Structure 1
Amino acid sequence: MYGNQPSAPARYAAELLLRAGARDVVELGAGHGRDALFFARQGFSVQATDFSGVGLEQARDAARSMGIGARLTTALHDVREPLPLADASADGVFAHMLLCMALSTEEIKRLVREVRRVLRPGGTFVYTVRHTGDAHYGTGIAHGDDIHEHGGFAVHFFSRHLVDALAEGWELDEVHAFEEGDLPRRLWRVTQRVSR
């Protein structure tokens, strides 16, 4: 759907994490692996998780063909469940448009608590979400909790209040507005860190 080139947020996250001396990166909702493979090519040890075993298999095959198979591990995972990772086991976590899937606010809050659990002190979480300024917000079928379905695809649109609530107890470094795609989709790229 999005091609094979890494997303702009992944490029940003890789540069930020490299500057911070990060080694281990987790990507949540990795899909077929375009961003996870990019992180591995940058030298990170990458744990890619996704709900689709097919996508993860494609990512593993691509990593082997690129000679970076040893840097990429995968885990089939539903983000509504606890992350299959040890406490303080990663330097960075990345999630591009995963948190704005059809997840309830409570499920999102639980997931962010899990991200904090697996990050080491000083670890960074970079995520992107569509927000309430997006053209599709308030259109289509309303499911409550700021979730709207348009064209058969349900999205949880983030308010700034939700972003701030998810950053409670973290150091919120940046909320960067950007656009992507043809509509265009309006998103925020959020960068927050665990205190050292």
Structure 2
Amino acid sequence: MVRMSADERRESVIRAAMSEFARGGYEGTSTEAIARRVGVSQPYLFRLFPNKQAIFLAASRYCIEGTRRLFEEAADGVAPDEKLGSMAVAYQRMIHEDPDRLLMQMQTYVAVASAEASGDKAFGEAVRESWLALWDTVQLEFAADVDETTTFLAYGMLVNTLVALGFPAGHRVWEGFYETARPE
């Protein structure tokens, strides 16, 4: 049996946490479930992370950073007028193939709103910092065009909502999308 390094174990915990939080949300997910999924004890989990919120934040950042890298890779070497389509198709594929990514995004928005409603502004600031890196990546691909960046991300949020609501690919709600925005 090959032993994992602390960094590998930490990433394993983050991936497991993302799946658990995606399904159960912040409040509905126990650190015990995350530890069990990874095959470690809860005390070990808390040697890697100071508390549950830190685990959730790491999972949120992992999710957002994965999307940011996906956009960057999808646009790499693509003609400027094809970047939007390439990034949209890559994103659609990701949320269909790995629904936990979409669910984790949704849970992150809920957790930020809940934390801020209870006075915890630091959590929201940390998530917004990750999301701004995503924004900057998209804006860079669109040559700093704010309107294109806003439109692209707005369509993405609409796609998130429609997919989360379970609308199938052929449903009329997808009519009117530019061709690459339709789910496969």
Is the TM-score greater than 0.5? Answer: no
Larger Rg: 2
Quickly name the TM-score band, shorter chain normalised: under 0.3
More strand by share: 1
TM-score normalised according to structure 1 size: 0.27
More helix by share: 2
TM-score normalised according to structure 2 size: 0.28
